[in-house]
Chain A
């Protein structure tokens, strides 16, 4: 009965898509951020990473806790000290307000917000922040940086147009390593 109840009422959150493990995601992000020419200035000495999760989505909440923990193990992100916080997504306007108030260097969008990726991108347009998604499918929807698994190896996906709108200036040597979409 318990199992049937769980299957019936638990929200769907998984997808059949191989994902970069959170541990590797955190290590990658710590390196990639250094290739953003504006990152150090944006971080202002201590980079704030906001992990955006879908409230009530178990997988999203869990991923948020995992990526916060993994980012916390990184000595530096983009060469600067950092701190992480989890934010439960409610609306684009609220996200814009949060970003303007707290001035995060990175907004990390957890899985479970695919349907909100485009509104999130619109909300962050003109905001000086690097938006990052755990899955590459969120990048065409407007997230600046995402990660995918290609032939069993991690790959970066970058939305260059969105990057410019959010004052993210990736260096050419990074773009050479990434799948770039405009």
Chain B
């Protein structure tokens, strides 16, 4: 055990001792039980987090409010255990237990909204910032489940499962309105915040944002059946703040020989300046759910549009500087119709049918000839359209055999059909005509799965949960995902868990089909990625306190990587007509890498002073290495931190005083995304990230039904682990690199009004 690990454990033990003392006058056993979290994700049935066959943490709506949380990534970073996100100022990236796979668009985490998968069918992408696109006040709680979870959920659930559980109509009956404003403070190239002033030059650099929300819920009777309806609408937008970027001296365009043209907002041959127009987010979303008797219907419609203020390796590899029209956009329409009924004393039936419509658009304009196929002198606009539509059904039968033994069998069948369309166009800015770039593709594929789970408690202190899921996906063939878990209660308040689980991710339609005739050929025979994991944890509950320590080890195989074609493969692709004959460098997705990692999670949470004082600490430390399997040595993973965690404390003062919430997140120094392959003289590394979040919230006493919260974030770090600008790879040892700025400080104030309170 490292010294850091020893210190962490010692701190937790000290906390345990202190909390025991603090509890002397409280109601012991009952407090323990009332502080249990009830989860439904690990085994698709209601159970306590303590007895569930997984390591999990729960973030409640109350915590979201008290700590000023306004997006899922904030909830993960400031409140959850074992997961962490990193923001490249567009769709944030997510990792767990030391594994963050940069540029994966979140497709190694399965995100559920009331059991409905939000990962889209084209690339498996999921979003964790505002792009989650779920009206925030509808969220009741968030279940964060760590580790492979394919046993009941299939593809994507490799790092874990995040389940957004919305409120019931009874919790929000009536009409409610939300108005929230925020402002991002601008910073200099050095990362220093610019001193506030009333000057117009300062005000134009601020990043104002706002969120408007409305909700409606009611319970009713129809046709003799009880029903309820809940609807949430939300619109979020922000523009800015501005960032000072570069300048990066690039030099001449390889085609024209003149200084490279980075567009009208940059000097010739130089990338950088003040990005005032190119950092924005816009998210309108609506989610509604109707329950009537045994039936339910859920509908979600949303859009996530965003612009990123710099070039990077992920979204804008090239493009004009500070062009706000260079942006991405996702749109969703999700429908689900379900039915649940207890058929007999033993048998429960659950049926769901669902349909998802999704599209993604990416637009990138570059005025530089060298960024465009064919060397068009005035540059080009690239446009990518990806569409993915899914229709599917899921049937589950649960058998409750012997209550004395808690013997339950769950059997399920899941089938879906997907239609994928991808269209990539490049428009010559001089002629407005499309360039002869061929890549359009369309595919239709199906996936079917059967799964079963058996729970069994031979004694009051021992529980087993054993299951397996067999998936057949036309994209990658078959996959078997078993899980076995044992839970032991060795003493009153204690719980020991032993879990073995596997998961997989079928290659996405994007990875299988994307090609553009100039940089990438379609992959052939891509297999599913797989992960195996073992973990053990011990926890102890006493009063309102819970202390947990767990160790894990996992093995990842067949990880999909973006590999450069060797000379032979390049020639073959050109002969086959997959690449233009003039191309000298191209890439393909292929299964190569393996990852091994191990480490520990630890958490402590509790409450004192009649639960007015609440506090928690979460720590994760992992050792992770990726083996590229190209003959080189295993390497550290980039972007994701090996050590990270969070701590929080809140105190609920007596009315009319507010509740005070303070949260802090920490991420140890991280290798930047191009640290290993960029070829720079010094390894690009982001310093440790420490961010504070302070929030005041409460009721506006003189207006019944009106609540407020206000607060701010402050990050001590100045950069994030992403290289920006045109220099993504070093030409020689003098090539400089620049790390991405981050939003160092934000302030917000919000009001929520519920009619009739």
Task: Check A72 for interface membership: any CB of B closer than 8 A.
Answer: yes
The answer to whether B60 touches A31, judged by C-beta atoms less than 8 angstroms apart, is: no
Q: Mark B322-339, 1 if CB is under 8 A from A, else 0.
A: 000000000000000001
Q: Give residues of chain B (536-552) contacting chain A, Cβ–Cβ below 8 Å.
A: none
The answer to whether A154 touches B341, judged by C-beta atoms less than 8 angstroms apart, is: no
Q: Give residues of chain B (347-385) contacting chain A, Cβ–Cβ below 8 Å.
A: 347-349
Expressed in whole angstroms, the minimum distance between the Cβ of B156 and any Cβ of chain A is: 23
Q: Mark A168-179, 1 if CB is under 8 A from B, else 0.
A: 000001101100
The answer to whether A20 touches B404, judged by C-beta atoms less than 8 angstroms apart, is: no
Known: A10-B343, A24-B33, A59-B342. A151 touches B62 (CB 8 A): yes
Chain A residue at minimum C-beta to C-beta distance from B611: A177
Report the Cα distance A152→B226, complex, angstroms: 23
The answer to whether B35 touches A153, judged by C-beta atoms less than 8 angstroms apart, is: yes
Q: How many CB-defined contacts (below 8 Å) exist between A and B? A: 118
Select which of B141, B343, B403 is within 8 A of A152 by beta carbon: B141
Q: Mark A9-35, 1 if CB is under 8 A from B, else 0.
A: 010111111111111100110011001
The answer to whether B349 touches A65, judged by C-beta atoms less than 8 angstroms apart, is: no
The answer to whether A18 touches B40, judged by C-beta atoms less than 8 angstroms apart, is: yes
State the 8 A-B residue pairs at the shortest beta-carbon distance, nearest first: A151-B60, A69-B403, A152-B141, A59-B342, A16-B291, A31-B30, A66-B403, A58-B342
Q: Give residues of chain B (250-268) contacting chain A, Cβ–Cβ below 8 Å.
A: none
The answer to whether A152 touches B39, judged by C-beta atoms less than 8 angstroms apart, is: yes
Report the Cα distance A59→B38, complex, angstroms: 20
The answer to whether B38 touches A18, judged by C-beta atoms less than 8 angstroms apart, is: yes
Task: Check A128 for interface membership: any CB of B closer than 8 A.
Answer: no
Q: Give residues of chain A (1-57) contacting chain B, Cβ–Cβ below 8 Å.
A: 3, 6-7, 10, 12-24, 27-28, 31-32, 35
The answer to whether A154 touches B34, judged by C-beta atoms less than 8 angstroms apart, is: yes
Q: Give residues of chain A (130-159) contacting chain B, Cβ–Cβ below 8 Å.
A: 149, 151-156
- A176 cross-chain contacts in B, Cβ below 8 A: 610
The answer to whether A177 touches B30, judged by C-beta atoms less than 8 angstroms apart, is: yes
The answer to whether B294 touches A153, judged by C-beta atoms less than 8 angstroms apart, is: no
Q: Give residues of chain B (46-89) contacting chain A, Cβ–Cβ below 8 Å.
A: 46-48, 51, 58, 60-62
The answer to whether A156 touches B38, judged by C-beta atoms less than 8 angstroms apart, is: no
The answer to whether B33 touches A28, judged by C-beta atoms less than 8 angstroms apart, is: yes
- B29 cross-chain contacts in A, Cβ below 8 A: 31
Expressed in whole angstroms, the minimum distance between the Cβ of A130 and any Cβ of chain B is: 15
Q: Is the interface of A mostly helix, strand, loop or mixed?
A: helix
- A24 cross-chain contacts in B, Cβ below 8 A: 33, 36, 38, 48
Task: Check B425 for interface membership: any CB of A closer than 8 A.
Answer: no
Known: A65-B345, A66-B400, A176-B610. A17 touches B168 (CB 8 A): yes
The answer to whether B51 touches A23, judged by C-beta atoms less than 8 angstroms apart, is: yes
Report the Cα distance A177→B26, complex, angstroms: 11
- B31 cross-chain contacts in A, Cβ below 8 A: 177
Select which of B33, B45, B165, B168 is within 8 A of A31 by beta carbon: B33
The answer to whether B34 touches A65, judged by C-beta atoms less than 8 angstroms apart, is: no
Q: On chain A, which size bracket covers the interface?
A: 35 or more
Chain A residue at minimum C-beta to C-beta distance from B48: A24
Report the Cα distance A154→B37, complex, angstroms: 7
Report the Cα distance A39→B146, complex, angstroms: 43
Task: Check A103 for interface membership: any CB of B closer than 8 A.
Answer: no
Expressed in whole angstroms, the minimum distance between the Cβ of B22 and any Cβ of chain A is: 16
- B38 cross-chain contacts in A, Cβ below 8 A: 18, 20-21, 24, 149, 152-154
Chain A residue at minimum C-beta to C-beta distance from B395: A3
Report the Cα distance A15→B340, complex, angstroms: 9
- B703 cross-chain contacts in A, Cβ below 8 A: none
The answer to whether A14 touches B341, judged by C-beta atoms less than 8 angstroms apart, is: yes
Report the Cα distance A102→B233, complex, angstroms: 54
Chain B residue at minimum C-beta to C-beta distance from A75: B460
Task: Check B699 for interface membership: any CB of A closer than 8 A.
Answer: no
Known: A21-B47, A73-B460. A16 touches B341 (CB 8 A): no
Report the Cα distance A119→B524, complex, angstroms: 69
- A6 cross-chain contacts in B, Cβ below 8 A: 341, 343, 349
The answer to whether A153 touches B34, judged by C-beta atoms less than 8 angstroms apart, is: yes
Task: Check B194 for interface membership: any CB of A closer than 8 A.
Answer: no
Report the Cα distance A103→B729, complex, angstroms: 82
- A66 cross-chain contacts in B, Cβ below 8 A: 400, 403
Expressed in whole angstroms, the minimum distance between the Cβ of B34 and any Cβ of chain A is: 6
Select which of A12, A65, A72, A156 is within 8 A of B293 by beta carbon: A12
Known A-B contacts: A14-B340, A31-B29, A62-B346. Give 14 more (CB < 8 A).
Answer: A7-B339, A7-B349, A12-B225, A12-B293, A14-B342, A27-B33, A58-B345, A70-B403, A151-B62, A152-B58, A153-B34, A153-B60, A154-B36, A155-B34
Known: A31-B29, A68-B403, A156-B34. A19 touches B296 (CB 8 A): no
